[in-house]
Structure 1
Amino acid sequence: MSDVTCERPKAEVKAPSLRWSGFAGVVLLVLVTWLPLPAVLTVALGVLGMAAFVLAWLRLGRRAADIPVRRLYTVTALCGLPLLAARPLFSGDVYSYLAQGVIADRGLDPYAFGPATALGAASPVTLQVSHYWQDTPAPYGPAFVGLSRVIAHIAGETGPGPVLLHRLVELVGLVLLAWALPRLARRTGTSPSVALWLGLLNPLVLWHVVAGVHNDGLMIGLTAAGLEVLHLGAERTGFARLALIAAGVALIGTGANVKIVAVAALGFAGAGLARRARPAGKAAVALGLPAGLVLVTVVITLGSGLGFGWVRTLAGVSTGPVHSWLAPTNELGFLAGGLGSLAGLDLTDGAIRVFSAVGALTGLVVGARLLWLTYQGKLHPMLGTGLAFAAMLVLGPVVQPWYLLWTVALLAVGLTTDRTRWILAGVSAVLALVLPPAGGGAITLVAGYLIAAAVTAGALYLRQPGRPRGREPARV
């Protein structure tokens, strides 16, 4: 029996305290974002709750390989449960999803009109959407916008009902991810428990899928499940082989019809299949997988009645009204713009466009190289996909903390050394804390983070081994 299913006393003794301290942090986060507190306290206490969970998660990672898969499922469910009652945190994107669903439900084209144009600037639905996105058409595929339309039709246009249904849809993605991760980990020789700790219990997943209700959770869940089903098919023969491969392509294709980035996973899976196939099989893979993706896309697009306008709107992602400050290409543009301003020149927008184009071209080169290495057998398809997603983040025009979910899930099973996994865990921890749970002015955010940092540092200091606690004598 593998160490995944065996009970190990050391882990069973240590895990509960970490589980409950993380749970307490999540509860604190939910409570303070509901209570009518001063903004600075909301930020400070919210970040304290986030830090409590992140620290517990990092400590748990030191012994994750010794914890049974079932226990990690339990911990994830326990820590995610309070977030089901949270208002949308870290981002208001779910209200854009709601508005796009309402537009489609009214028979209008969500790929041609933003909420303000389609519903009116004074519409209660439009007013929920961030002013940055009120004039932006839907950038998501017809699978997701079609779901948003169904939710709007069932639950109405405003209130907690539509948000709850969207949250439940994202939980479906997490269930698929929870099913797929241990199985994919076994294929790469990674501990299933470590993969679950890094890819499912990750604070970015809880913050931005459960609390933030981002559709990245549904996309990556469909993609991971599709990869596992695809690999199951590759191990079979006859009709079962064809049926499972077709089902895997359908799942990944549906994920791509939520967010187009899922297409990369199909490319790398195809490279892995083609490498092991005979010449005729290579041709079948090279033609069959893209044809299957196109077929799935056509069926979803025509079945939803939403048309192919979503393909057109994808081009607007890099030229939208907001320049993502986390995107390295944009940072270079801001730097060039700042230098230009010293000479009285307004270069920022133009520089961002130039660096975004350079990033896109570089990304294509990097992606092609990773694909070739996967075909040669030098990279596992899961690792290749995870690295391709990472390249999209580093070189893409738009970066948000929840975008790291694309690469975390695949690298959680693709990375095979402790060092690389801890690098990914460290990046996850930083990005899990960099975005506050609620908004506020610059002074409010700085003061809130300083208070949270001071309290956290003090608590860590008092927890040092040998540190006196109250009247208890110091241990030596």
Structure 2
Amino acid sequence: MPAPPRSAAAPGPRVARYAGLAGAILLTVAGYLGGALPDSPLGATPVSIWHSPGGQATLTCWLVGTALLVGAWWSLRAGAPSGRWAYVTAGLWVLPLLVAPPLGSRDVYSYACQGWTYAQGLDPYATPVAAAGCPWLDAVAPIWRDTPAPYGPVFVLLAALAVGLGGGLTGAIVLLRVIAVAGLLLAALCLPGLARAAGVPTRRAAWLTLAAPLVGVHLVAGAHNDALMLGLLLCGLLIVVRRPGRPVPLLLAGALLGLAVTVKASAVVVVPFAALAAVHGRYTVRALLRDGGRLAAGLVAALLVTSALPGLGFGWVGGLTRSGDSEQWTSPPTAVGLVVDYAGGLAGRDPQAVPAIRAVALLLLAVVLAILWWRAWRELRRLDHGRQPWAGQVSARPRVALHGAGLALAATVVLSPVFHPWYATWPLALLALTAVRTTWFVLPVAVAAFLALPDGTNLARFAKAPGALAMTALLLALAVRGVLRLRRP
């Protein structure tokens, strides 16, 4: 017989709850000691931070706090004692981080300056924040001062609204954090319905998604727009799986997915899988064109309206090309390109392989997305004939489509030209809702939590060559393992 679920009062969950809370408090303390404050020095190294006034206390609080938060989350990766317990605990962990200064990144200052640029009547897709004369330019990371905004018009409008209502940098940051928390709350509201549709317990989906260390530190304290993208994405998917085939709900769901894309373009890879979930009845090409077309109509309408009304057009699409200016080994394609460059240097050549490998990876991503979609389509067609892979569920159809969407986001993270720790949150909710095994996607999230320091210093850039070699070796090992598995009878 299966073991009974652990009680919320059992020692393990109770220890995890308060260990994580202690970790969140320590991270907040580290933020005030040496977080990404507007006047904190840029370009610091771990060694210089350690030797700076208060640096030892900052790094100690940060590392111990991160270890406590990650360890507590990891210990219950099979699921919290109950859905309510998961929500309460995740909320407790977020509370200290709500009042922390920006943590782990300086992107929130870029958001504020891009909003200020638009509020001044300038086009943030044509005018970088340095050229616009943003008054908070010194707080923006140097690499993003001369690049156009890579975010959609919806987020630029929200950033401009935050700047206008905030009355200054501090007020703008507070409102940008409010927007991020609103996105996270929207995601939290959608998780139980999606969990029921996918046939998994809410206690697992909510725990893995909302209590993840990257969510509290980067999406809440860092105020990243990924939180709003995820909230809109999950809301659109919930409507799709609850009302497949219904014209008006599908138009609304398409509009929500379109809004998610106009916050952050990476959400677009979910749309083809949402079209599969939108089909009502048997899976035929005609049904897909009918119901998927309604979803696409809502999405296109949202894209056109949000791009036309603010007068920004589709300039944000061009801004995406500059988002890869940073070269870090945490992006697998970039790591491979760096290794090729290092090998060329030993041979007396300068191959400049990173752009080429990144281009190949994007082509590979298109192929992988097409394969994932085709596999989901074939599985759904098989379900039409009664061969359900998950016996006992009311319907496996939503789970197939949602799992395909989660894998698509995971592939996008792995094959993108650049990787930042908070990118690992993109596929987290959908995989928590659908994956049978969890370690393969929970472990990278846990590791990514240690990649940044409170002031936004990226630790990956201090291990460029070793990190690139290690990442390339890992990719080769995974490739060999995959080939061996394919050759098994």
TM-score, with length taken from structure 2: 0.82
Counterpart position of 2:270: 265
Counterpart position of 1:201: 211
User: Which of 9, 12, 20 is 2:9 aligned to?
Assistant: 12
Distance in 1 of aligned mates of 2:378 and 2:17: 42
Asked whether 1:291 is paired with 2:297, we answer yes
Counterpart position of 1:255: 260
Distance in 1 of aligned mates of 2:75 and 2:88: 17
Deviation at 1:277, TM superposition (A): 4.7
Distance in 1 of aligned mates of 2:359 and 2:33: 45
Distance in 2 of aligned mates of 1:332 and 1:9: 44
Counterpart position of 1:21: 19
Counterpart position of 2:471: none
The 1:270–1:62 alpha-carbon spacing in structure 2 relative to 1, beyond 3 Å, is closer
Counterpart position of 2:38: none
Amino acid at match of 1:273: A
Asked whether 1:55 is paired with 2:71, we answer yes
Using the TM superposition, name which of 165-174 and 243-252 deviates more. 243-252
Distance in 2 of aligned mates of 1:279 and 1:423: 34
Distance in 2 of aligned mates of 1:33 and 1:314: 30
Asked whether 1:141 is paired with 2:152, we answer yes
Amino acid at match of 1:125: W
Q: Is the 8 A contact 2:113 2:129 kept in 1?
A: yes
Distance in 1 of aligned mates of 2:6 and 2:345: 63
Counterpart position of 1:468: none
Deviation at 1:273, TM superposition (A): 3.1
The 1:231–1:440 alpha-carbon spacing in structure 2 relative to 1, beyond 3 Å, is closer
Counterpart position of 1:174: 184
Counterpart position of 1:98: 112
Q: Is the 8 A contact 1:42 1:438 kept in 2?
A: no
Distance in 2 of aligned mates of 1:142 and 1:62: 39
Deviation at 1:233, TM superposition (A): 1.6
Counterpart position of 1:346: 350
Distance in 2 of aligned mates of 1:124 and 1:299: 31
Distance in 2 of aligned mates of 1:106 and 1:63: 48
Q: Is the 8 A contact 1:204 1:401 kept in 2?
A: yes
Amino acid at match of 1:104: Y
Counterpart position of 1:458: none
Aligned residues: 421
Q: Is the 8 A contact 1:43 1:438 kept in 2?
A: no
Deviation at 1:291, TM superposition (A): 2.6
Asked whether 1:156 is paired with 2:176, we answer no
Distance in 1 of aligned mates of 2:234 and 2:406: 11
Amino acid at match of 1:267: P
Using the TM superposition, name which of 303-312 and 220-229 deviates more. 303-312
User: Which of 55, 64, 77 is 2:91 aligned to?
Assistant: 77
Amino acid at match of 1:97: Y
Counterpart position of 2:229: 219
Amino acid at match of 2:309: G
Secondary structure in 2 aligned to 1:304?
Answer: coil
Q: Is the 8 A contact 2:137 2:145 kept in 1?
A: yes
Q: Is the 8 A contact 1:89 1:438 kept in 2?
A: yes
Deviation at 1:161, TM superposition (A): 1.1
Secondary structure in 2 aligned to 1:132?
Answer: helix
Asked whether 1:330 is paired with 2:334, we answer yes
For residues 292-333 of structure 1, the C-alpha deviation after alignment (integer angstroms, 9 at most, x for no partner) is: 211111111122232221122223334x2x213311111111
Amino acid at match of 1:430: V
Counterpart position of 2:48: none
Deviation at 1:62, TM superposition (A): 4.6
Distance in 2 of aligned mates of 1:222 and 1:198: 19
Q: Is the 8 A contact 2:155 2:262 kept in 1?
A: yes
Deviation at 1:9, TM superposition (A): 6.2
State the percentage of identical aligned residues.
37
Asked whether 1:183 is paired with 2:193, we answer yes
Deviation at 1:265, TM superposition (A): 1.6
Using the TM superposition, name which of 201-210 and 91-100 deviates more. 201-210
Distance in 2 of aligned mates of 1:140 and 1:124: 21
The 1:150–1:231 alpha-carbon spacing in structure 2 relative to 1, beyond 3 Å, is same
Q: Is the 8 A contact 1:264 1:388 kept in 2?
A: yes
Amino acid at match of 2:102: P
The 1:197–1:333 alpha-carbon spacing in structure 2 relative to 1, beyond 3 Å, is same
Distance in 2 of aligned mates of 1:439 and 1:402: 12
Amino acid at match of 2:429: A
The 1:358–1:429 alpha-carbon spacing in structure 2 relative to 1, beyond 3 Å, is same
Deviation at 1:75, TM superposition (A): 0.8
The 1:20–1:286 alpha-carbon spacing in structure 2 relative to 1, beyond 3 Å, is closer
Counterpart position of 1:303: 309
The 1:332–1:279 alpha-carbon spacing in structure 2 relative to 1, beyond 3 Å, is closer
Secondary structure in 2 aligned to 1:433?
Answer: coil
For residues 118-166 of structure 1, the C-alpha deviation after alignment (integer angstroms, 9 at most, x for no partner) is: 11xxx531111111110011000001001001111111342x2111100
Secondary structure in 1 aligned to 2:299?
Answer: helix
The 1:323–1:441 alpha-carbon spacing in structure 2 relative to 1, beyond 3 Å, is closer
Amino acid at match of 1:17: V
TM-score, with length taken from structure 1: 0.84
Q: Is the 8 A contact 1:84 1:210 kept in 2?
A: yes
Distance in 1 of aligned mates of 2:200 and 2:70: 23
Query: Structure 1, unaligned stretches of length 5 or more?
Result: 236-240, 447-476
Secondary structure in 2 aligned to 1:305?
Answer: coil
Asked whether 1:316 is paired with 2:322, we answer yes
Asked whether 1:411 is paired with 2:411, we answer no
Amino acid at match of 1:154: L
Distance in 2 of aligned mates of 1:61 and 1:286: 35
Using the TM superposition, name which of 23-32 and 12-21 deviates more. 12-21
For residues 66-93 of structure 1, the C-alpha deviation after alignment (integer angstroms, 9 at most, x for no partner) is: x221221111111101001111111000
For 1:367-386, list aligned pairs within 5 A: 367-377=369-379, 380-386=400-406
Deviation at 1:278, TM superposition (A): 5.2
For 1:109-148, list aligned pairs within 5 A: 109-119=123-133, 123-148=134-159
Deviation at 1:429, TM superposition (A): 1.1
Counterpart position of 2:31: 33
Counterpart position of 1:238: none
Asked whether 1:390 is paired with 2:388, we answer no
Q: Is the 8 A contact 2:241 2:277 kept in 1?
A: no
Distance in 1 of aligned mates of 2:360 and 2:61: 41
Using the TM superposition, name which of 41-50 and 270-279 deviates more. 270-279
Q: Is the 8 A contact 1:386 1:408 kept in 2?
A: yes
Counterpart position of 2:393: none
Distance in 2 of aligned mates of 1:438 and 1:302: 37
